[in-house]
Every structure is written in C-alpha cells, then in structure tokens.
C-alpha cells in the first residue's frame, strides 16, 4: 500500500520551504503563532506575519515587522494593485505566499514597517 499525501501536507511542505528560503536569502522569519503584533496606522490595523533579522546598517538585527503588499495597501488606504511604497528605503523582500482568494501560491513583496509608516506620514 502506498502512502497517501493530502493537499494539506503539500501546502504545509511548501510553506516550510518558503520560510527556509526567506531565512536563507533575506534573513526573514515567519512570526510563530501568538508572537505577532497588531500594527496600526490611523484607523487600519493588520496582524504581523513576518519579521526581519537582517543587519542593514551594522547595528544588529533589524527586528522590524514586515507587511505583505496587501497589508501595506490596506493601511495606506490603497485598495488596488498599485505599488503601495514606490521608493522604499529598505528593499522589499520578494517572496511567494499562499493566496487564499485564488487558492494558490503567488509572488508577493514584504515591506518593512518603517517604510509603510514613512509613506503614511508622507501622505498625511
């Protein structure tokens, strides 16, 4: 009898691979369960899903929360496909994420919280 692999097993495996690649290539880690923070700008709030452990300036790990393209757009009041942060000071992290609305993995970008806040203040 051959072992059975479910779609959930495949998704979990792919999510683990993406997390490993993000750590290896960008020093970015997924937030584990209740370790996340609620990030709020104005009246919008999102739940942190990733954080950065890279050293951008030689002063130790960054530790900033990272937001997806959709999260950043929501906080900045941009409910469309435009780039939410046209000129980020810290380069966005290119990553593949599970898109529940489409039922597949899609390319996405993770933005540093400081860049989202900077763009918000610029628009105010």
Q: What is the pTM of this model?
A: 0.88
Q: Tens digit of pLDDT for each residue in 66-119?
A: 999 999 999 998 876 678 998 999 999 999 998 878 878 999 999 999 999 999
Q: How confident is the model at residue 2 (pLDDT cuts 50, 70, 90)?
A: low
Q: Which long-range contacts (CB under 8 A, 24 or more apart) does 8-16 make?
A: 11/98, 14/98, 14/105, 15/98
Query: Residue 1 has what pLDDT?
Result: 61
Task: Give mean pLDDT, residues 28-42.
Answer: 89
Per-domain residue ranges for the chain?
7-123
Query: Residue 45 has what pLDDT?
Result: 95
Highest-confidence range of 6-10, 52-56, 103-107, by mean pLDDT? 52-56
Give the separation between CA 69 and CA 81, rounded to whole angstroms. 9
The DSSP code sequence of 81-97 is SS-S-SS-SSPPEEEEE
């Amino acid at each position: 009898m051959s072992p059975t692999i479910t779609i959930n097993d495949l998704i979990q495996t792919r999510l683990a691979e993406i997390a490993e690649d993000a750590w290896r290539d960008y020093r970015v880690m997924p937030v584990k369960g209740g370790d996340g923070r609620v990030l709020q700008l104005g009246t919008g709030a999102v739940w942190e899903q990733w954080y950065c452990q890279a050293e951008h300036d030689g002063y130790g790990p960054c530790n900033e929360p990272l937001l997806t393209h959709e999260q950043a757009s929501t906080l900045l009041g941009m409910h469309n496909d435009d780039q939410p942060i046209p000129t980020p000071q810290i380069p966005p992290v290119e990553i593949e994420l599970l898109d529940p609305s489409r039922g597949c993995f899609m390319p996405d970008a993770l933005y540093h919280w400081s860049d989202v806040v900077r763009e918000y203040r610029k628009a105010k």
